[in-house]
Amino acid sequence: MNRRSDRRHYVITGIVASSAAVVLLLGGIFLSIRIGPWEIGLQDIGRILAAKILHMNMSSDPALEAIVWLGRVPRTLTGVLVGFALGAAGTIMQGIFKNPMASPGVIGTSSGAALGAVTAIYIGMAATSIYAVPSFAILFAFLSMLIVLGIATSGGLTSRYTLLLAGIAFNAIFSALTSLVIVLSTDQFEMARQIVGWLMGDLTNRSWQHVHIVLIITLVGTLWSLLFARDLNIIMLNEEIAANLGVNVTLSRNMLLFLAALLTGGAIAVSGAIGFVGLIAPHIMRSFIGSDNRLLIPAAGVLGGALVVYSDCVVRVWGGGGLRIGVLTALLGGPFFLYLIIRDRRKFVFF
């Protein structure tokens, strides 16, 4: 009876929490489209969206139409998809490492993607194609994941602890190489400004092409990861039990690492470095809906999208041109991470 009551409690709480996250996200989308230096009324926004989405014959000011449809909507959707990808990737990484304090970049994918992006900017590829920076970021994210996975695998078996330690080492190496690229670019002010601005995370001047890039990556990464969500649930309990139940632990883990790298690299590729979203979103949603990754991955994605969109709104209203999304999420996520450490310190092994 208690189990049935607990399950019913989690179902009700999960529905309420997921619904609240969706409402929060929709509110953030509306607010993001609404705010800006140009005051645009609700009726104007409604007419523009109806004309573009529903193909209704609604007249509107061409200038306002360009601001909303070509400026604010792509920026908002890019933020939603970036946050969703980071939230989903964080959920996967926390499940693989069985640690609620793991983040998408724990195995070096974030720093690898950052190195790839700044390299593309430094060698001039960013000026030739809008797809250059995303391509380099995703490529370097995969390379870092493959190198770390290769180091942590021996005799067909992968050690989570070696994976974590190798990730820490390569995070340091890639960060150092990124700093080197910044130093080399200081004699070209505009390039250095672009690199530093990108590393702080930003959604300024995002277009529909950026939306298409991150949309495809987020859809593929999320839907594919949901196919392995049940395996991840069993692996989180016990890997030996998972193997006895017919789960190919090595295949499932490697595929999930691949998908986490895809989601992380794709998000960072279009927004720059935005940290802690993949830590905060899964942790909050897990406390409401439990650890079933079939529900947690999309729920954390929705909350991640809301976090990025609201952060972008704060930056646009109070940033004054200097504050960036990555800086704001770090200011929020750092204390949250310390809170988790202090709260759970009694669970740690003392020596």
Domains, the chain, with CATH or none:
74-344 (1.10.3470.10)
Kindly calculate the radius of gyration of the chain based on its CA atoms and give it in whole angstroms.
21
Going from the C-alpha of 260 to that of each of 93, 225, 253, 338, the distances in angstroms are 7, 8, 10, 24
Beta bridge partners of residue 153, listed in sequence order:
158
Average pLDDT of the residues of the chain:
86
Q: Measured at the alpha carbon of residue 107, what is the angle toward residues 158 and 101, in degrees to the nearest 5?
A: 100
Is the pTM value of this prediction over 0.85?
yes
d(CA 221, CA 319): 32
Asked if residue 171 lies in contact with residue 108, where contact means CB atoms within 8 angstroms, the answer is yes
Positions of the chain with pLDDT lower than 70, given as ranges: 1-7, 9-10, 59, 319-322, 344-351
C-alpha to C-alpha distance for 242 and 287, rounded to whole angstroms: 24
| pLDDT of amino acid 88 | 96
Q: In this structure, which amino acid lies at residue 283? A: H
| Residue 300 vs residues 75, 172, 286, 348: alpha-carbon distances, Å | 21, 28, 8, 26
CA 149 to chain centre: 21
Cα 182 to Cα 187: distance, rounded to the nearest angstrom: 10
Helix (H/G/I), strand (E/B), else coil: 107 = coil
**Length, in residues, of the chain:** 351
Token pair in block for residue 318: 């109070």
pLDDT at residue number 89: 95
112-143: per-residue pLDDT in tens?
999 998 999 888 887 788 888 888 998 999 99
Rounded to 5°, the CA angle 248-250-251 comes to 65
